[in-house]
Amino acid sequence: MPFRKKVISTLVEMLQNIIHHGYVRKDQKGKGALGMFYITYKDQVFGLNTINYVSNDNARELRTYLDYINNLDKEELEQVYNKQLLNFSEEETNLGGLGFLEMRLKSNSPLLYEIKQINEFISYFALKVNFDLNKKNDHGKTHHKKD
């Protein structure tokens, strides 16, 4: 997949996670979840970043799941991804399981995150997905064309 498509599809997935899995107060149902998205760029690395609130229950599950997929190598990631793709069920959509796997595979980098409990109901969730232009792709070439 071309570099631009990887970045754009990851951006879309991150925004969908805010919309579908972000915390919404009961009195705000139907008005959408609050979140923020921004892009960073330093030393040939693009960072796609989101910040939003999640329920504390989801925060615990997120931490466990993100730690799990961050510790998999590329082959293991692909196996888990294919297994989830073939065994897709409603229970697995609660945390965007396939989406996080896709982000991890497309970026070829760990998913950086921070979770902080705000109160008894919600936690702050920040996610960063880095795309290193100097990293070699599957074809042994860097994404960045040097002059």
pLDDT of residue 134: 86
Higher pLDDT pick, 31 / 122: 122
pLDDT of residue 138: 55
How is the chain split into domains, by residue range? Answer: 3-132
pLDDT of residue 31: 65
pLDDT of residue 127: 97
pLDDT of residue 89: 59
Percent of the chain beyond pLDDT 70?
81
Give the architecture-level CATH label for domain 3-132: 2-Layer Sandwich (3.30)
> Rounded to whole angstroms, what are the CA distances from 11 to 17, 49, 54, 56, 131?
10, 9, 19, 24, 11
Q: Give the pLDDT mean for 47-58.
A: 95
Nearest Cα to Cα of residue 15 among 40, 42, 38 = 38
Q: Give the pLDDT mean for 44-61.
A: 94
pLDDT confidence tier of residue 146, bands split at 50, 70 and 90:
very low
- Say what the pTM is: 0.83
pLDDT confidence tier of residue 15, bands split at 50, 70 and 90:
very high
pLDDT at 63 over 90: yes
Please give the span between the terminal C-alpha atoms of the chain, in angstroms, as a whole number.
23
pLDDT of residue 97: 74
The residue type found at 85 is: L
Higher pLDDT pick, 106 / 145: 106
The pLDDT tens digits for 67-113 are 999 999 999 999 999 988 887 655 544 455 789 999 999 999 999 99
Largest CA distance in the chain: 55
